[in-house]
Amino acid sequence: MKNLFFLILVLLFLESCSEENQSETEIQSKPNIVLFLVDDMGWQDTSVPFWNKRTPFNDRYHTPNMERLAAKGMKFTQAYATPVCSPTRISLMTGMNAARHRVTNWTLHKDALQPMETNHKELTFPRWNVNGVSPVPLDLAVHADALPAMLQKAGYFTIHSGKAHFGAIDTPAEDPKAIGFDINIAGHAAGGPGSYLGKNNFSAQWRGGSEVWDIPGLEKYHGQDIFLSEALTIEAKSAMDSAVSKKKPFFMYMSHYAVHTPIETDKRFFQKYLDMGLDETEAKYAALVEGMDKSLGDILDYLEERKLADNTIILFMSDNGGLSVHGRGGEPNTHNKPLSSGKGSIHEGGIRTPMIVKWPGVVAPNTSNDNYLIIEDFYPTILEMAGVESYNTIQTIDGKSFSALLANNTPGQTQDRPLFWHYPNEWGPKGPGIGAFSAVRLGDWKLIYYHLNEDYELFNLKNDIGELNNKAHSNPEKVKALAEVLTSFLKEVDAQFPIHKSSGEKVSFPLN
Ligand code: CA
């Protein structure tokens, strides 16, 4: 009897060992995932054409490493973000649409609306989630299970390098580690760099700016002649080394501060753009883009040298359209042509961004996909890529996995799916498509509902990619049909709206 008991104990022990070993093997065979997110990069800021023809911008910008990635992966010509940083980044990290997570404008200070919202003459803005995302219940923040925390639970070593901008100052998520990153390189609450230059200690002091923009954690580069995009890449490679030595698959969120303002000089690339005849600002901007592209190349080289490339998925994306309304050389609102407008706008120039996915063995190389998708789709897709099959989250996920689009590139697969944007906020500058709005895209049509005047723009994007012909007056049936779809979604997610100061009335739903 005693011997039998002992035998059972031994068997149970062996069983538990084999389970552990099995799961460790499973974890080690998972693919590495690199999510390369660029800040404020426009759809045309690249030598890779994302339209059906090359444009002069494709000849202006030099992004040889994006070309290299596109040759090995799939381009998406209609990938969407939101018009500004925070709503995109929170959708990416939670899988929720902005109307649902309510981090609808950009975050920085705890519990505080931005001055351009508090000082608005005509609208009173709702108490949106100014504190960003939070891993614990917190006033004015969306409480959610963030993507890196989900991947960490699935056995991933999770690396954050660059711009975080997940939570306001003095809230838990100002530190990326609070939402599931094992390593944080240079991320904090702010959504822009004080300076790109090591010589400026990556601080805003050179321009008399606030210390909230001072980039944390890169002290060893202070005073050196190094550009921020380069420093972030060196640190990111070293973090990937740590993952490899731990024998764990890694998720690396390479979240560049580039190409956000301040548009400073990256001397490595600046002169050639001046020589091309660009004005100084545009030459600096193009150099900022090429420095970001070099980082992509360095990471591709690293993965190849370490023999990790065949087991690493790379997703390239931007968080909103290219800045165009101010701060750039040349004519405002033309920097994303043929698209209208830029960052801050619901026109295509503000939301359509360059996207490429390389997934060895799954995605056919050198392909282009015209199906549309939106930023919250990255959450379920990346979890699927990581082999996380069934999971529960605190939050309701709006995103749909686009893994089927990666495996099977058939046109028209998304034509029946509505995409939604909601921005009951104020960004500041005036320009085409800029201002508080709700919008829906369904098939080739896009309806925009502006909160201030409660009026519409309706565009057929297939025939009119530049959104020059507003069809709202000539096609009231389409306006009504799309307004119904949009209203139904906004009601479902209990979307917030501004109040008209003149009447004290809340802005009506698109279909009232
Ligand atoms: Ca941005």
Å from CA of 382 to ligand 1 middle: 21
Is 308 found in the same domain as 378? yes
Residue closest to 448 by CA, chosen among 421, 411, 476, 418: 421
Is 430 found in the same domain as 466? yes
- Give pLDDT tens digits for 340-389: 999 999 999 999 999 999 999 999 999 999 999 999 999 999 999 999 98
Is 429 found in the same domain as 392? no
pLDDT above 60 for 12: no
- Count CB neighbours of 438 within 10 A: 26
Say if 182 falls within a structural domain.
yes
With beta carbons less than 8 A apart as the criterion, state whether 179 and 282 touch: no
Å from CA of 261 to ligand 1 middle: 10
Range of the domain at 216: 30-407
CATH number for the domain that contains residue 345: 3.40.720.10
This prediction's pTM:
0.95
Å from CA of 343 to ligand 1 middle: 8
Confidence of residue 258 (pLDDT cuts 50, 70, 90): very high
Q: What are the tokens at 467?
A: 């959104």
Say if 21 falls within a structural domain.
no
CA atoms within 13 A on the CB side of 144: 30
pLDDT of residue 29: 86
Is 351 found in the same domain as 261? yes
- Give pLDDT tens digits for 67-91: 999 999 999 999 999 999 999 999 9
pLDDT above 80 for 21: no
Task: Give how far Cα 121 sits from Cα of 64, 115, 500, 502, Å.
Answer: 47, 12, 10, 9
Is 442 found in the same domain as 399? no
Å from CA of 417 to ligand 1 middle: 25
Say if 188 falls within a structural domain.
yes
Say if 10 falls within a structural domain.
no
pLDDT above 50 for 15: no
pLDDT above 80 for 198: yes
- Give pLDDT tens digits for 424-451: 999 999 999 999 999 999 999 999 999 9
> At 226, phi and psi to the nearest 5?
-140, 145
Q: What is the mean pLDDT of residues 322-333?
A: 97
Is 164 found in the same domain as 50? yes
Last residue of a domain, one of 353, 385, 407: 407
Is 458 found in the same domain as 315? no
Is 41 found in the same domain as 130? yes
Say if 43 falls within a structural domain.
yes
- Total domains in the chain come to 2
Å from CA of 319 to ligand 1 middle: 5
Q: What are the tokens at 201?
A: 């200690």
Is 474 found in the same domain as 449? yes
pLDDT of residue 17: 44
Say if 24 falls within a structural domain.
no
> Ligand 1 is a single-atom ion; what residues have CB below 5 A from it?
39-40, 85, 319-320
CATH number for the domain that contains residue 469: 3.30.1120.10
Is 459 found in the same domain as 316? no
Å from CA of 466 to ligand 1 middle: 21
pLDDT of residue 408: 87
Name the strand (E) or helix (H) holding 8: helix 2-29
Say if 470 falls within a structural domain.
yes
- Give pLDDT tens digits for 133-176: 999 999 999 999 999 999 999 999 999 999 999 999 999 999 99
- The rounded mean pLDDT for the chain is 95
Å from CA of 24 to ligand 1 middle: 38
pLDDT above 90 for 19: no
pLDDT above 80 for 110: yes
Task: Give how far Cα 18 sits from Cα of 248, 477, 484, Å.
Answer: 19, 64, 56
Å from CA of 76 to ligand 1 middle: 19
Is 433 found in the same domain as 395? no
Task: Give how far Cα 444 sits from Cα of 88, 350, 462, 484, 508, Å.
Answer: 23, 18, 6, 17, 26
Say if 167 falls within a structural domain.
yes
Last residue of a domain, one of 385, 407, 429: 407
pLDDT of residue 13: 47
Last residue of a domain, one of 370, 386, 407: 407
pLDDT of residue 114: 85
Is 190 found in the same domain as 267? yes
